[in-house]
């Protein structure tokens, strides 16, 4: 088992990575947005939407960390306004999620001539995800069923999220030979699927077995590693947005 000092350091990095990743995505998104390559500017908007969505979806985790450091009172979670606030955050996050998928589809449409079918399928999957969450919340209403609800909700969200990313993966993989903006962009979507599949069981265990120090330590290390990979991608995308292609000279 790792020493307490190492665990505390990893825990500090685990929570610190959230604002770092969010700010970094915002910076890279802005750099892509001001790129001279007009066809890539949509990806800048997409990145800004991703950063905003990540910021909202991690509010609860950040509040818990601040409470653990006694920087915020535990009473904040007991106030009536907290539930209403988190419900509002959830609705805004959902709207941003839909918007960022539309931006990604527009990028695909403008660069590869993608038809309307993919975005229609994505909207249907999002609606199905919302419906399943409502059904699950109605099925597991009592506090004693919290674990069952958490497992069902997490699995449902993961399945629909993976299906949506898979649609983008197929589009970018099919057009990989003509992609000049971000070569091998399909690898990012493959990475997103791998991350989702890996994170699902770990997130569930972390929420249900949070007293297991050894597992929590490994869980935090994996999350930090995933964050490093994510930062690497956005760095690459920002560099590609400002990379000037060398003109080729053709001889006849």
Question: What is the value of pTM for the model shown?
Answer: 0.86
Q: Residue 90 is encoded by which pair of tokens? A: 């959830």
Task: Give the angle 44-47-52 at the CA atoms, nearest 5°.
Answer: 130
Helices 146-174/117-139 angle, 10° precision = 170
> Cβ distance 121 to 167 under 8 Å?
yes
What is the tens place of the pLDDT at every residue in 95-119? 999 999 999 999 999 999 999 999 9
Identify which of 104, 128, 125, 117 has the alpha carbon closest to the alpha carbon of residue 50.
104
Identify which of 172, 201, 174 has the alpha carbon closest to the alpha carbon of residue 187.
172
What is the tens place of the pLDDT at every residue in 208-217? 877 788 888 8
Query: What's the Rg (C-alpha) of the chain?
Result: 20
Can you give the pLDDT at residue 97?
A: 94
Identify which of 111, 114, 102, 107 has the alpha carbon closest to the alpha carbon of residue 180.
111
Contacts of 82 (CB under 8 A, 6+ apart): 76
Which of helix, strand or coil describes residue 175? coil
Q: Phi first, then psi: give them for residue 107, nearest 5 degrees.
A: -60, -45
What is the tens place of the pLDDT at every residue in 181-228? 888 899 999 999 999 999 999 988 887 877 788 888 899 999 999 999
Identify which of 223, 169, 177, 182 has the alpha carbon closest to the alpha carbon of residue 200.
223
């Amino acid at each position: 088992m790792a020493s307490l000092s190492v665990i505390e350091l990893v825990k500090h990095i685990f929570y610190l990575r959230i604002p770092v990743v969010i700010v970094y995505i915002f910076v890279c998104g802005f750099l892509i947005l001001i790129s001279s390559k007009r066809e890539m500017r949509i990806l800048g908007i997409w990145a800004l939407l991703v950063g905003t969505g990540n910021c909202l979806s991690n509010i609860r985790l950040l509040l818990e960390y601040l409470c653990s450091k006694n920087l915020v009172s535990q009473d904040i979670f007991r106030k009536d306004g907290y539930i209403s606030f988190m419900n509002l955050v959830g609705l805004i996050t959902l709207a941003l999620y839909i918007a960022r998928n539309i931006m990604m589809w527009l990028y695909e449409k403008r660069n590869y001539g993608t038809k309307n079918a993919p975005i229609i399928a994505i909207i249907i999957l999002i609606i199905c995800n919302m419906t399943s969450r409502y059904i699950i919340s109605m099925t597991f209403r009592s506090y004693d069923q919290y674990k069952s609800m958490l497992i069902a909700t997490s699995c449902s969200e993961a399945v629909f999220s993976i299906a949506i990313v898979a649609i983008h993966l197929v589009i970018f993989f099919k057009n990989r030979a003509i992609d000049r903006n971000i070569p091998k962009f399909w690898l990012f979507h493959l990475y997103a699927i791998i991350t989702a599949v890996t994170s699902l069981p770990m997130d569930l265990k972390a929420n249900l077995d949070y007293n297991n120090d050894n597992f929590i330590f490994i869980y935090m290390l994996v999350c930090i590693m995933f964050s490093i990979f994510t930062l690497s991608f956005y760095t690459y995308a920002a560099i590609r947005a400002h990379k000037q292609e060398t003109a080729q000279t053709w001889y006849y």
